[in-house]
Structure 1
Amino acid sequence: MAIDFTLTDAQRRLRDDAREFATQVLAPVVRQADEEPDPLRAFQLTRPAYVEAYKQGIAFCMLPGEYGGGGLSNVDVLIAGEELCAVDPGFACTVLVNGLGLMPVWYWGSDEQKDRFLRAATSDPACEYLVGYAVSEPAGSPGGTANFDAPLAHPVGIGVTARRDGDEYVLNGRKFWPCNVAGWDGRGADVSIVIARTDTGKGGTEGLSAFMLERGTPGVEYRLISKIGHRLAPNAEIVFTDARVPAANLVEGTRGNGDLLINRNFAWSGPVAGIAAVGVARSAYEAALDFARTYTAGGPRPIIHYQNVGYVLGDVAARIEMCRYFCWKAAHYLDRHDYHGELIGAMCKIQCTELLFDAVYKCMQVVGVNSVDRTRPFEKLLREAAVLPLYDAGNFGMQRRRVHGILAHPGFDPRALADDEFVAFDKTMETIDTVPA
């Protein structure tokens, strides 16, 4: 059969290895790191786990094998990713961002750039190499990132500017929310990809490009952000003040196409965010089921034997299964279509993260007030689930707008995904609703 949801022996080993890492290496550091008030210190507490993840090939599992990466398919990444996310989706986000920062170099970089940046990431003797992804910008008027592809000139859309000066570009402006960019010490990741406006006279569909920002670049400051969830993932504000980046660090194929990079990146990460929701909901469901099997609520038998509890948990279990397979479908689509899945990736991210946020709360209702006790896992799981629809191109901003732009295009075939046909995404599908009527 062409359709088969049975894991291969290799995939089962991959899942089991990821589960062992998550439970034996990652889990022991999660509580302390999550409760640490200093966001940089919280991230630093995960360092030993990250080093082990690097040694086991997890940290750069998504990069091609020819450059030293794990060479995993997108489906395989999700199989392993679910196990990490069931323990802590923030740590898994750190790994995800390594891919967001370097996969555009694989897609669009020159051979020299691929050799320089991809091989450096996968050959670090200290096993600590970290990559950042910098798109999001601070809220304000103008400000934010949801309308990054607005067709109007600066200052609408992306506000960080990159002005050519000889063999360098001079960057000015601020980013807010980028992950991994501050590195282990708050002074910068080994390298970060930064989306900036290289032509202030053009809109985001024409004026954006991507740069590789290397650690130690003068004129760059980092300020860590304290968050309600994903506390093991380091988000930061970046301030660029006449920061000089070599012109050779502009990722060649992104010149004037930084908008397409953003859309393609968030298409790839859509099912990864979806599987994070699966992992979080799975943990909540299993904890609620264990509780229901022993707690009587003062009655003669455990509450699992009452209809309401059984029905609610049955619905939650069904949602988890539905979303897992939607994520696999989206990842399979990416594997078949050269890592393009701008439509299905957005759909997957929206539906899975929103359905399963509700599922986590349903589990808390089964457990009742006892779910509020912080000795149980639900408080953290709820915080993590709340982040998922909001981050990684928010569902109400960038994700639904991408879906809308594709559906509104006159050439869109509504049966394409069902037929596993390629759905092209280009600049004509951008800008929808970015300029109020």
Structure 2
Amino acid sequence: MVDFTLSSQQTALRNSARAFAQDVLLTAPSMYNDQPDQRSRFEATLPIYQQAVKAGLIKGQVPAPLGGTSTSIVDAAIVVEEFFAKEPSAAITILGTGLGLMPLILAGTPKQHEKFLTPFLGDEGEPIAAFVHSEPGGTANWLEKGAPGLNTTAYEQHGEWIINGEKLWTTNSSGWDQRGADLQCVVCRQSSPGSPQDLTSDPASQILILLVTREDVTKNDHSAYQILSDPELAGFKSAIGPHSRFTNFRVPASQLLCRPGEGAAIVEQTFGSSAALVGAMGVGIMRAAFEATLVFCKEDKRGGTVPIIQHQSVSDKLMDIKMKVESARMLTWKALSGIEKGPGNWENKLETALEAKIWCTDQAPKAVMDAMAAVGMKSYAKDMPFSRLLEDAICLPLFDGGNIGVRRRQLEKIFQRDGYEPWASTYI
């Protein structure tokens, strides 16, 4: 039987996440708002990140069997919602490390787990990780046969892999000092630099993933790893998604995470798990919009005789937002529970995760706009939360695989397969 009641442990987790969001994350804007650019705003949040490490929020994204404290990815959705209801921008940096570690968690050997996860299992410092996949030319069609494919290449020589190419929109990848995150999981195409992709082959057969550490950056020539720019973002004002370049960058052969032909599947699993968590981000933003609107509409008369919540048109907007929040939360929890427990195979689980990502993030900007319509012109003022919520909400359908360019097309392919069972992810 379906049960959405939180366990005592989950209730405690929610209370802890809510307290951290209220007491720590909410202080982030006062640290970064006056900074002149994206890089400065990101670096200004370092004390927030250090407190997150101390609070166990980094090792909380690593499964307990691997030394962390995570016991369920549904629990992760609970944390994400609480964070995004208060301060999405600083939260992205914390959660970006979890995404950065995911390929290692999924595909690492016991020896790689022990070596590369250990820095993220303590409660001191500021260890940060990144999943390094996207490129300046776009990656929506990276596995299309006959296309150029990934431009970041790697080839093996004398016990090392040598990386060449550029990456962009890779959250956290520069680290705090532009000399690299503590761990980058870098997705590459097996090839010597400048060699075009074989247009007759399956692009997935050439995809590999390498583990790159700050120590590797130090050992290479200074020019081998460069941050070219830090794009200014419309939302998530303190997050960082740098444009970076690898030039004859050398990595020990032991740091091959996925052999050629194995990397594409891990990329899909990484983005599959993250898809539903982005849905939870949408839940948090919609929740914040509803709560702020509810308070305003119960207190403000807008020059009339009664609080505006007593006008049907205003109440209807509140109802629409509330139903979006509840529906999005249930779909997100269902998707994440399905990834952990089933039913169905991986494709069935991926389908529901894609639905959660697409639907929840498409609803988030609409919910904020409904909130602004209910409040009226006052919602446009900077001392109200709505413009900030809208700036963050409009990013959600675009990142972590854009809903139009990537996620809906993934879902389309699933629907088109012979033997597709529409409800396999719901019923055994």
How far did 1:255 drift? 3.0
Q: Which residue pairs with 2:87 in the alignment?
A: 88
How far did 1:203 drift? 4.1
CA contact (8 A) 1:39 1:224 kept: yes
Residue by residue over 1:395-425, the C-alpha shift from the partner in whole angstroms, topping out at 9 and shown as x without a partner, is 0111111111111110321121221x5xxxx
Residue by residue over 1:240-267, the C-alpha shift from the partner in whole angstroms, topping out at 9 and shown as x without a partner, is 1111111111104x53122212211111
Q: Quick check: 1:242 aligned with 2:248?
A: yes
CA contact (8 A) 2:58 2:120 kept: no
Once residues 202 and 378 of structure 2 are traced to their aligned partners in structure 1, the CA distance between those partners, rounded to angstroms, is 52
Q: Which residue pairs with 2:207 in the alignment?
A: 208
CA contact (8 A) 1:350 1:395 kept: yes
Residue identity in the other structure for 2:302:
A
Once residues 32 and 110 of structure 1 are traced to their aligned partners in structure 2, the CA distance between those partners, rounded to angstroms, is 40
- What's the secondary structure of 1:293's corresponding residue? helix
Q: Quick check: 1:146 aligned with 2:146?
A: no
How far did 1:93 drift? 2.2
Q: Which moved more, 1:300-309 or 1:201-210?
A: 201-210
Q: Which residue pairs with 1:38 in the alignment?
A: 37
Once residues 85 and 28 of structure 2 are traced to their aligned partners in structure 1, the CA distance between those partners, rounded to angstroms, is 14
Q: Quick check: 1:128 aligned with 2:120?
A: no
Q: Quick check: 1:6 aligned with 2:34?
A: no
Q: Which residue pairs with 2:386 in the alignment?
A: 378
Once residues 42 and 174 of structure 1 are traced to their aligned partners in structure 2, the CA distance between those partners, rounded to angstroms, is 23
CA contact (8 A) 1:105 1:251 kept: yes
Q: Which residue pairs with 1:65 in the alignment?
A: 64
CA contact (8 A) 1:285 1:317 kept: yes
Q: Quick check: 1:300 aligned with 2:299?
A: no
How far did 1:72 drift? 2.9
Once residues 82 and 35 of structure 1 are traced to their aligned partners in structure 2, the CA distance between those partners, rounded to angstroms, is 26
CA contact (8 A) 1:230 1:384 kept: yes
How far did 1:31 drift? 4.3
CA contact (8 A) 1:160 1:174 kept: yes
Residue by residue over 1:268-308, the C-alpha shift from the partner in whole angstroms, topping out at 9 and shown as x without a partner, is 01111111111011111111111111221221111110010
CA contact (8 A) 2:171 2:240 kept: yes
- What's the secondary structure of 1:393's corresponding residue? coil
Q: Which residue pairs with 2:23 in the alignment?
A: 24
Once residues 352 and 231 of structure 1 are traced to their aligned partners in structure 2, the CA distance between those partners, rounded to angstroms, is 22
CA contact (8 A) 1:278 1:324 kept: yes
How far did 1:64 drift? 1.6
- What's the secondary structure of 1:397's corresponding residue? helix
Once residues 5 and 236 of structure 2 are traced to their aligned partners in structure 1, the CA distance between those partners, rounded to angstroms, is 31
Q: Which moved more, 1:27-36 or 1:271-280?
A: 27-36
Once residues 419 and 91 of structure 2 are traced to their aligned partners in structure 1, the CA distance between those partners, rounded to angstroms, is 37
Residue by residue over 1:77-122, the C-alpha shift from the partner in whole angstroms, topping out at 9 and shown as x without a partner, is 1111111111122223223322222222222122211111112221
How far did 1:36 drift? 2.7
- Give unmatched runs, 5+ long, in structure 1: 422-437
Residue identity in the other structure for 1:272:
L
Q: Which residue pairs with 2:164 in the alignment?
A: 172
Alignment TM-score, normalising by the size of structure 2: 0.92
Q: Which residue pairs with 2:401 in the alignment?
A: 393
Aligned length: 411
Runs of 4+ in 1 over 6 A off after TM superposition: none
Q: Which residue pairs with 2:365 in the alignment?
A: 357
How far did 1:46 drift? 1.6
**Which of 302, 312, 317 pairs up with 2:317?**
312
How far did 1:343 drift? 1.4
- What's the secondary structure of 1:178's corresponding residue? coil
CA contact (8 A) 2:25 2:91 kept: no
Once residues 188 and 33 of structure 2 are traced to their aligned partners in structure 1, the CA distance between those partners, rounded to angstroms, is 32
1:182–1:317 distance in 2 versus 1, CA, 3 Å: same
Q: Quick check: 1:107 aligned with 2:115?
A: no
Residue by residue over 1:340-375, the C-alpha shift from the partner in whole angstroms, topping out at 9 and shown as x without a partner, is 432111111000000121001110111111111101
- What's the secondary structure of 1:97's corresponding residue? helix
Q: Which residue pairs with 1:426 in the alignment?
A: none
CA contact (8 A) 1:186 1:224 kept: no
Alignment TM-score, normalising by the size of structure 1: 0.90
CA contact (8 A) 1:136 1:175 kept: yes
- What's the secondary structure of 1:20's corresponding residue? helix
**Which of 258, 261, 278 pairs up with 1:273?**
278
CA RMSD of superposed structures (Å): 1.7
Once residues 423 and 206 of structure 2 are traced to their aligned partners in structure 1, the CA distance between those partners, rounded to angstroms, is 33
**Which of 233, 237, 240 pairs up with 1:231?**
237
Once residues 245 and 37 of structure 1 are traced to their aligned partners in structure 2, the CA distance between those partners, rounded to angstroms, is 35
Residue by residue over 1:39-62, the C-alpha shift from the partner in whole angstroms, topping out at 9 and shown as x without a partner, is 122112221121111122112312
Q: Quick check: 1:118 aligned with 2:117?
A: yes
1:278–1:35 distance in 2 versus 1, CA, 3 Å: farther
CA contact (8 A) 1:210 1:258 kept: yes
Residue identity in the other structure for 1:87:
K
How far did 1:35 drift? 5.0
**Which of 264, 287, 294 pairs up with 1:289?**
294
